[in-house]
């Protein structure tokens, strides 16, 4: 079994859409303050843009932990 920590950060865009950025293998522990600072930096530096336009504000963030098990195919 392999557990993977994924940080999901949701942003509002200038066209009123939601843009999600995922960071795989997020460090543990990770605080809300650290994530908020990173999100502010992404917005300020205009690092990413998509079909919804530039990111303009923070919406939500979460850490998702997945556990994967391989199956033997007989």
Determine contact, residues 69/4, Cβ cutoff 8 Å: no
User: pLDDT confidence of 1, banded at 50, 70, 90?
Assistant: low
Query: Residue 55: how many CB atoms within 10 A of its CB?
Result: 24
| Strand pairing category for 49-50 and 18-24 | unpaired
Are 11 and 18 in contact by the 8 Å Cβ rule? The answer is yes
Determine the pLDDT at residue 50.
84
| pTM passes above 0.75 | yes
- pLDDT 10s digits, 36-73: 999 999 999 998 888 899 999 999 999 999 998 889 99
């Amino acid at each position: 079994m392999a557990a993977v920590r994924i940080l999901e950060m949701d942003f509002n865009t200038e066209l009123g859409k939601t843009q999600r950025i995922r960071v795989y293998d997020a460090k543990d522990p990770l605080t809300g303050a650290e994530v908020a600072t990173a999100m502010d930096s992404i917005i300020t530096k205009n690092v990413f843009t998509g079909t919804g336009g530039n990111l303009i504000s923070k919406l939500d963030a979460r850490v998702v932990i997945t556990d994967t098990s391989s199956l033997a195919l007989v």
